[in-house]
């Protein structure tokens, strides 16, 4: 509760057959959700105080010798805008896919919006995004004043290249939320993936030109580009952070 992170908590009984059946699906969630969501398990028989604290979300009945709960019970604990804790229980199917979609909808990050670079001129859209604000000012004194105000204040730029619409990715929204004070983030949907055919999309051709070999990838430019194309000769290539070769929690960390 003091970590400031989102947690998916499973309340369980050691002896419960439904909990044993759910174990492989819990492992699948453990591979997909961190670091966006941390996972924890609470043994009902050994943590009566914690069960009492979340009794509104875990259906239990007191017997003479113990507490028996309807398990596995899943509770998502997040932190709101005012830093207050918010808890929500899951009531749907216990398939890993259904739980994952519920978590994705329920996270505060689901409200985070990431700008999209799109259009028939993908390279131009990227070049415009990489330009610092002062470079877009008109020539003359106004440009010089904008340059002076903006000098040293520009954030690095990063673009998430993905074959899926970025709105479907809680990892992308997690990045945008956590890194917003540190960099400007945008996205590019490479529809159809990194196809090298003549009919490949403008986004795919741009990705190839930047040296991308797999998706999804985060391309990071540490220095603002005053003008021109990011593909111009002499420009420093972006730093590419590939996450597709090891699509597990350790790689996302």
Biggest alpha carbon distance in the chain?
84
Backbone angles phi, psi at 215, to 5 degrees: -135, 150
Before 216, cis peptide (omega within 30)?
A: yes
Q: How confident is the model at residue 35 (pLDDT cuts 50, 70, 90)?
A: confident
User: Which pLDDT score, from 0 to 100, does residue 46 have?
Assistant: 92
Segment 194-233, tens digit of pLDDT: 876 767 888 998 999 899 988 889 999 987 655 555 666 6
How far apart are the C-alpha atoms of 210 and 76, rounded to whole Å? 39
Q: Is residue 94 pLDDT above 90, yes or no?
A: yes
Is residue 207 within 8 Å of residue 161, measured between CB atoms?
Answer: yes
Confidence at residue 74, expressed as pLDDT on a 0 to 100 scale: 97
Euclidean distance between CA atoms 18 and 194, whole angstroms: 42
Q: State the helix-helix crossing angle for 17-32 and 96-106, rounded to 10 degrees.
A: 60
Mean pLDDT for 32-39 is: 92
Q: What's the N-to-C CA distance of the chain in angstroms?
A: 20
What is the pTM for the complete model shown?
0.74
CA distances from 205 to 88, 128, 197, 200 (A): 44, 18, 9, 7
């Amino acid at each position: 509760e003091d970590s400031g992170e989102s947690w998916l908590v499973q309340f369980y009984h050691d002896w419960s057959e439904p909990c044993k059946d759910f174990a492989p699906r819990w492992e699948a969630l453990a591979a997909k959700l961190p670091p966006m969501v941390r996972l924890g398990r609470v043994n009902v028989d050994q943590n009566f105080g914690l069960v009492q604290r979340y009794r509104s979300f875990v259906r239990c009945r007191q017997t003479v010798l113990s507490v028996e709960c309807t398990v596995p019970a899943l509770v998502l604990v997040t932190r709101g805008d005012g830093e207050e804790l918010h808890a929500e229980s899951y009531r749907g199917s216990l398939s890993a896919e259904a739980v994952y979609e519920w978590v994705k909808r329920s996270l505060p990050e689901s409200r985070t919006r990431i700008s999209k670079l799109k259009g028939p001129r993908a390279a131009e859209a990227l070049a415009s995004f990489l330009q610092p604000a002062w470079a877009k000012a008109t020539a003359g004194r106004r440009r010089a004043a904008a340059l002076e105000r903006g000098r040293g204040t520009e954030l690095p730029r990063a673009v998430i290249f993905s074959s899926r619409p970025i709105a479907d990715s809680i990892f992308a929204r997690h990045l945008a939320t956590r890194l917003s004070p540190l960099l400007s983030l945008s996205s590019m949907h490479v529809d159809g993936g990194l196809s090298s055919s003549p009919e490949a999309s403008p986004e795919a051709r741009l990705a190839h030109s930047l040296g991308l070999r797999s998706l999804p990838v985060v391309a990071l430019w540490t220095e603002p580009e005053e003008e021109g194309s990011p593909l111009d000769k002499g420009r420093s290539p972006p730093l590419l952070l590939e996450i597709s070769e090891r699509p597990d929690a350790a790689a996302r960390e």
